Amino acid sequence: MPDRRLIILAAIACASIIAFMTIGLRGNMVFVLQLRGLKLLALIQVSVSIALSTVLFQTVTANRILTPSIMGLDALYLFGQTALVFALGGLGYASLNGGLKFGAEVIVMIALAMGLLWPMLRSRMDMSLMLLMGVTLGLLFRSLSALLSRVIDPNDFAIVQTASFANFNMLRADLTIIGTIITLGAALLCWQKRHVLDIIGLGRETAIGLGVHWIRAATGLLLLVSVLVAVSTALVGPVAFFGLLVAALAERLMQTQRHALLLPAASFIAIIVLVGGQTILQHGLGGASTLGVVIEFAGGLLFLALLILGSRK
Amino acid sequence: MIRIENVSLSYRDVPILRDITLSLDRGGIIALVGPNGAGKSTLFSLMARLQPLQSGRITIDDLPVDRTPSRQLAQRLAILRQDGAVASRLTVRELVGFGRFPHHQGHPGVEDLALVDAALEQFELKALSERFIDTLSGGQRQRAMVAMTFCQGTDYLLLDEPLNNLDMFHARQLMRSLRSIADERQRTAIIVLHDINQAAAYADRIVAMRDGRVIADGTPDAVLTQDNLEAIFGYRMQIEQMGGKPFVLHHL
């Protein structure tokens, strides 16, 4: 018997999907539906992968205000975009082969994550040190991008600006489908491991006592998180605070840390926010702003609220 | 039986444990005592596989702790650390239920649920069973952690200062529960203890450590002598016999 709150969330998520697909339909039906279907697939893929990766990351680090962006993956992505624009110019950047770029971005980001995780797997480093290294590298990449964007000309800078927020308007069908398959695989894996995740959430020592092979489990999870983040970032761009928003809402709503409830709840909330938000922006506000910007804004406010409420408790 | 053979450990060049060899038989309560920094908790982490061995060997019922799959060990050995930070949004019942995880891997059967109920009953957590962990007091949370450890139903229990945060009533109750599983079910509890009189009253054997070495080992009567205690803790204290047990007036 599934939880009632989950059913309600699923219903709202379905409603936003239907609204997204049907509101304001006109012209060539097949063409419009195909276009919207692709966009919907990308939105859902990003929703689920950000929701899962944030919940998993918070579980394994036992910290409720961290997001995977602390590992510096999105900073690397941004730096990559800036460097490409710097090296090739705006025109060269725009004419890059999308598939090749996507593949290379995913591989580079996963390589960074492996580089960070390897010493931990060899037990030469504990997790907090690994995270600190991620923070430092993130800072380095951000500073490098800032440096490069001062050097490039203003037109190129505008291109970098556009690339630094999530963008759901320029999608390629084949890449979206690859991303969706990877996310689906990850989601199935999480579901299968949901009981072990509950144990991992108890912290290292208790989890070892209950028979979890900690190093293997923790590095495996962090790698899974990196893959999810890499794929969704390469597909649409960075969405930093979105994961925090979703994970915090899911935990507040479900009042539990059981992953069997938390993971689907976070995924549904992400779909509601992203698909519903996109629908409202497109049809309610006439596309006045980019969804990415709005989400960063709302997510940032929520982050502050969490810090303040958390310190009061 | 837990065998510790020639275990040494050092951080950088500072020796923490120096060539420890011990064998701990099945059944009974073994208390590890000693001053701060004696290496008790380090030895504990090595036995509990929380930290890799540097040299020597530790086996539990002939299973080497560093090479046996973690899950297989979890069915024989339950551990409780002093500062087990716990995720907050879990109820007491859920937490205690996790103790059965090594046996059912996430799909509890009727027997598992019954054992959880029994553990809640035993540690007087029935009334608290639906409360969230972060709404409990330190002592109540400690009891929930202890109940989870008991619920694991293992032959060996490793407890690192389990009396922390417990009031006199619950400390006594925990020691008595340990006594009863040791006597009735031939289980073994290895406890790091600071209260030497608890060790005197309940333990079958006391292992005293100082500076990374075992310097006294035996029954409470044999270990708790004025000379031994001075060698362990560095000052002379008076020892009385009360109710047939040694009673150390360590605070005077």
Q: Is B137 on the interface with A (CB under 8 A)?
A: no
A289 to each of A171, A277, A283, how far by Cα in Å?
18, 11, 12
State what percent of residues in chain A have pLDDT above 90. 26
Q: What is the pLDDT of residue A312?
A: 54
Contact A210 B74 (CB under 8 A): yes
Region B105-125: mean pLDDT is: 89
Tell me the pLDDT tens digit for each residue of B186-211: 899 999 998 899 999 999 999 999 99
Tell me the pLDDT tens digit for each residue of A98-122: 888 888 888 888 888 888 888 877 7
Choose between B73 and B165: higher pLDDT.
B73
Contact A195 B69 (CB under 8 A): no
Confidence of residue B7 (pLDDT cuts 50, 70, 90): very high
Long-range contacts of B75-78 (CB under 8 A, 24+ apart): B75/A211, B75/B102, B75/B103, B75/B154, B76/B154, B76/B155, B76/B156, B77/A209, B77/B48, B77/B154, B77/B155, B77/B156, B77/B157, B77/B158, B78/A209, B78/B149, B78/B150, B78/B152, B78/B153, B78/B154, B78/B156, B78/B157, B78/B158
Tell me the pLDDT tens digit for each residue of A269-287: 999 988 888 888 887 777 6
Q: What is the pLDDT of residue B84?
A: 62
Q: Find the range with the poorest average confidence among A52-66, A155-169, B6-20, B155-169.
A: A155-169
Q: What is the pLDDT of residue A163?
A: 79
Cβ contact B252:B238 at 8 Å? yes
Contacts B86 to A, Cβ<8 Å: 202-203, 206
Candidates A195, A201, A209; nearest CB to B87: A201
Tell me the pLDDT tens digit for each residue of A222-240: 889 989 988 888 888 887 6
Q: Is B152 on the interface with A (CB under 8 A)?
A: yes
Candidates B85, B99, B152; nearest CB to A62: B85
Region B106-115: mean pLDDT is: 89
Query: Does pLDDT of A295 surpass 50?
Result: yes
DSSP secondary structure code for residue B132 in this structure: B
User: Nearest-5° angle of CA B135, CA B141, CA B143?
Assistant: 145
Average pLDDT over chain A, rounded to an integer:
85
B165's tokens: 């945060």
Query: Does pLDDT of B106 surpass 90?
Result: no
Candidates B70, B73, B84; nearest CB to A206: B84
How many angstroms separate the CA of residue A188 from the nearest CA in chain B? 16
Contacts A203 to B, Cβ<8 Å: 84-87
Q: What is the pLDDT of residue A237?
A: 82
A202's tokens: 């108890």
Q: What is the pLDDT of residue A1?
A: 47
DSSP secondary structure code for residue A276 in this structure: I
Cβ contact A295:A275 at 8 Å? no
Query: What is the rounded distance in angstroms from the CA atom of residue B221 to the CA atom of residue B122?
Result: 30
Q: What is the pLDDT of residue A32?
A: 86
Half-sphere CA count of A129, side-chain side, radius 13 A:
9
Confirm whether pTM is higher than 0.80. yes
Query: Does pLDDT of A310 surpass 80?
Result: no
Query: Does pLDDT of A313 surpass 60?
Result: no
In this predicted complex, what is the ipTM?
Answer: 0.89
Confidence of residue A72 (pLDDT cuts 50, 70, 90): confident
